[in-house]
Amino acid sequence: MATQQSKYKLIDRPTPSPMRTIGLGMAPNHSKIAAGLAAGTPGAGIGALIDWVKDSVNCPIFNMPTIEQVRWGMDGAQSDASVKKNFGAEIDLFGSGKDPQGIDYVETTMALAGETQTYMLACAIFFHVEPEPLCFTAFGNSWQPLGGPTTVQAAGNVPISPDVFTFNDFTNGALGSATATGTFFGPAVMEHGWWANYAAWHMVRGYNMRWKIGQHTNILDEVLRHTAYMPTNAQEGSASNSEVDIVQFVNRMNNYYAGKGSVQQFLKVNRIRIGSVLSPAASNLGVFRPSNDDILVGATYGGMDLRSLLKGNSEFRKLTLPYVIKPGVPIGLVAQANDTDQIDTMQAYLSLTQIGNQYGGGVFPPVVTDTPAATTPWDGTNASPVGIERTLDGLNVAQQVGTGRSVYKSGTLKISQGIKGFEVSEDWYTILQNNPDLKELVMGECSIRFAQQGAG
């Protein structure tokens, strides 16, 4: 399989630093704080900080300026290695680094994986899933070009691509000489978009959103679907059906598969089988008419109804108790597996090989049959009286058709995770850490907590 490195982008935060910091970056008045502590009135020196924190915690989420986030982008279904590494026991976007295996591109605000760059008061979290908004299924054929998908074929080496063909058509040359070279040619289906929606639907049910900082601070542990949010893909509460041409979708998918190391390519249907001529089977040939019928397919705009599962979730989930996070300590916000059945199904639809159901055996696209009992590539016997077809010239001939279809997946999937809040100056953090009474006062007055590697 071809090795592909993730595209990486460090997201800048354009808001000026003082605007992101509690109290607009105002420095503490050390002498006033010392006087208050000496007089036994610790709050006298930090009243302004308490007001600033309260104002920050209570402001609308969209006005909170600081976001630490990681976003994964997938240009298509994933390799087995990527599924096992990135979508196994944990989905750890924060800890994934610049080049998670198999992920096509990564965007992040974090200079170091999983760690904030400054002290931060985290007030909200988010987990967004953005599957392909357009869903359809198209029939075609899977073809292995001579020399691989990047080799331009000589004249006569591109087969026709019928809606259905028989064993006689295949072996007797009715599809063209390119199918008789020993390379693969077989029925296929192209699944666009809905595999990503379906995988995301099982993802948010099969994982818990778990937030554990250090060894002792456990902030959150509940089913991911209570936090996950899907941005709208169509008019809210609706989807529409229409026809789309699949030419560009097929081309883009084939480029993606070639980049991932596949030796096969998808061909859309360009012939309709109207019957056959001649008998016996050894000389029987299918008759095909040219057709553009399957260039347009019915598509659903807006995707599957994943948003109904996430109904009521907002773009950002506000924390009941905001937490102060220390830089250099892994944030520990991950999606943690809770249901193997849901995860097996998610992995199957995320995978290029349909790994969750063991269809592909590491090869993609996989050939999927109705039942594991149908291991032969052709049904029937190709001998009378099994599968008799009346030919166009008035004869009878036995026919066999394929028992499986190669499954291709096209479309994108993006997932992102982040925290939102305000920066805290190191000076203020140090004063509170060094003065437990002040720290307790701020936590009590502002309803916040400090997350650290010791006790929370």
pLDDT value of position 124? 93
Helices assigned H by DSSP within 59-193: 80-86, 167-171
Distance of alpha carbon 269 from the chain centroid: 28
Domains in the chain: boundaries? 7-134+194-237+302-346+412-451, 135-192+243-299+349-408
DSSP state of 21: B
Supply the DSSP string of 396-426, one letter for each residue: EEE--BBSEEEEEEES-EEEEEEEEEEE--H
Terminal Cα distance for the chain, rounded: 46
Whether omega for the bond prior to residue 322 falls within 30 degrees of 0, making it cis, is: no
Q: How many Cα atoms sit within 13 Å of 400 on the Cβ side?
A: 19
Quick check: helix, strand or coil at residue 163? coil
φ, ψ of residue 180 to 5 degrees: the values are -110, 20
How many helices and strands, by DSSP H and E, does the chain display? 11, 23
* 3-class SS of residue 30: helix
- Tell me, what's the pLDDT at 256? 96
Q: What is the pLDDT of residue 49?
A: 87
Report residue 45: phi and psi, to 5°: -95, -10
Alpha-helix residue ranges (DSSP H) falling in 80-138: 80-86
What letter would DSSP give residue 42?
G
Q: Which amino acid, residue 234?
A: A
Tens of each residue's pLDDT in the chain, 456 residues: 445 666 877 777 666 677 788 877 788 888 888 888 888 887 788 888 888 899 888 888 888 888 889 999 999 999 999 999 999 999 999 999 888 989 999 999 887 887 888 899 999 999 999 998 889 999 999 999 998 898 999 888 899 999 999 999 999 999 998 787 778 999 999 999 999 999 999 999 999 999 987 665 678 899 999 999 987 654 455 556 789 999 999 999 999 999 999 999 999 999 999 999 999 999 999 999 999 999 999 888 776 666 665 666 888 999 988 999 888 878 889 999 999 999 999 999 999 998 755 555 678 999 999 998 998 999 999 999 999 999 999 999 999 999 999 999 999 999 999 999 999 989 989 989 888 889 999 999 999 988 764 433
User: Rounded to an integer, what distance in angstroms lies between the CA atom of residue 7 and that of residue 129?
Assistant: 19
Q: What is the pTM of this model?
A: 0.89
**Contact predicate 106/71, CB 8 Å:** yes
d(CA 129, CA 391): 52
- CA separation, residue 358 to residues 168, 182, 355 (Å): 30, 25, 5
Contact 389, 380 (CB under 8 A): no
218 exposure class (CB count in 10 Å sphere: 0-12, 13-18, 19+): middle
- Residues 410, 249: contact at Cβ < 8 Å? yes
Q: What does the alpha-carbon distance between residue 254 and residue 318 come to, in Å, rounded to a whole number?
A: 42
pLDDT at 455: 38
Q: Do the Cβ atoms of 225 and 331 come closer than 8 Å? A: no
pLDDT at 71: 95
CA atoms within 13 A on the CB side of 287: 10
Asked if residues 396 and 384 have their Cβ atoms less than 8 Å apart, the reply is: yes
Name the β-bridge partners of 318: 124
> Is the CA virtual torsion 48, 49, 52, 57 positive or negative?
negative
454 is written with which tokens? Answer: 């010791």
